[in-house]
């Protein structure tokens, strides 16, 4: 995320974007040092489509079931906005926890609706 910028932010989420770099050329055969030396060194080899990742730290979602539910919501909502995102690496980061007194269950329908609504606002507010 150091090489990218924050393109959208809500109360609980931030969306970061970093440009995709062109694939690096493989190491020449005479300089090969291992079995994987002929592979490209680029992190993202495919250009032309957006890439998406999710970071949901334990600090803000203590239970694994909550972290997994939030990640599923991130990936599901991102599909609706995939056509509007530029070809770049995107990371959605949970930056604050949801109030436990308001959402008692880790997978309550109320929490899912709140996460989904906020993610829709996050993706709708993306700066190009």
For the entire predicted model, the pTM comes to 0.77
Q: Let me know: does 117 contact 13? Beta carbons within 8 Å.
A: no
User: What is the per-residue pLDDT for 128?
Assistant: 67
What is the CB neighbour count within 10 angstroms for residue 108?
Answer: 14
Per-residue pLDDT for 97 more than 60? yes
User: What is the per-residue pLDDT for 101?
Assistant: 81
Cα dihedral: 17, 92, 52, 3 (round 10): 30
Lowest mean pLDDT among 25-39, 42-56, 86-100: 25-39
Per-residue pLDDT for 37 more than 60? no
Per-residue pLDDT for 94 more than 90? yes
User: What is the per-residue pLDDT for 17?
Assistant: 93
- Range 8-22 average pLDDT: 89
Residue with tokens 């989420």: 13
In angstroms, the CA 21 to CA 43 distance is 8
Confidence label for 106 from pLDDT (cuts 50, 70 and 90): confident
Per-residue pLDDT for 9 more than 80? yes
In angstroms, the CA 9 to CA 81 distance is 16
In angstroms, the CA 11 to CA 80 distance is 21
Ordered structural domains, the chain, with CATH: 5-19+49-124 (3.30.230.10)
DSSP characters for 3-59?
Answer: TSEEEEE-SSEEEEEEEPPPPPPPPPGGG--STTTTS---S----SS-EEEEE--TT
Lowest mean pLDDT among 27-31, 78-82, 99-103: 27-31
Per-residue pLDDT for 54 more than 60? yes
Residue with tokens 């880790």: 106
Point out which residues pair with 88 in neighbouring strands. 19
- Range 60-86 average pLDDT: 93
């Amino acid at each position: 995320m150091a090489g990218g910028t924050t393109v959208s932010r809500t109360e609980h989420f931030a969306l970061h974007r970093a440009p995709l770099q062109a694939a690096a050329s493989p190491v020449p055969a005479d300089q090969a040092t291992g079995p994987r030396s002929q592979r490209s060194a680029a992190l993202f080899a495919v250009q032309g489509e957006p890439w998406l990742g999710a970071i949901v730290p334990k600090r803000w979602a203590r239970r694994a079931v909550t972290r997994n539910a939030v990640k599923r919501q991130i990936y599901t909502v991102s599909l609706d906005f995939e056509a509007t995102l530029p070809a770049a690496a995107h990371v959605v980061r949970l930056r604050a926890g949801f109030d436990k007194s308001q959402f008692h269950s880790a997978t309550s329908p109320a929490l899912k609706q709140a996460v989904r609504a906020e993610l829709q606002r996050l993706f709708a507010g993306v700066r190009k």
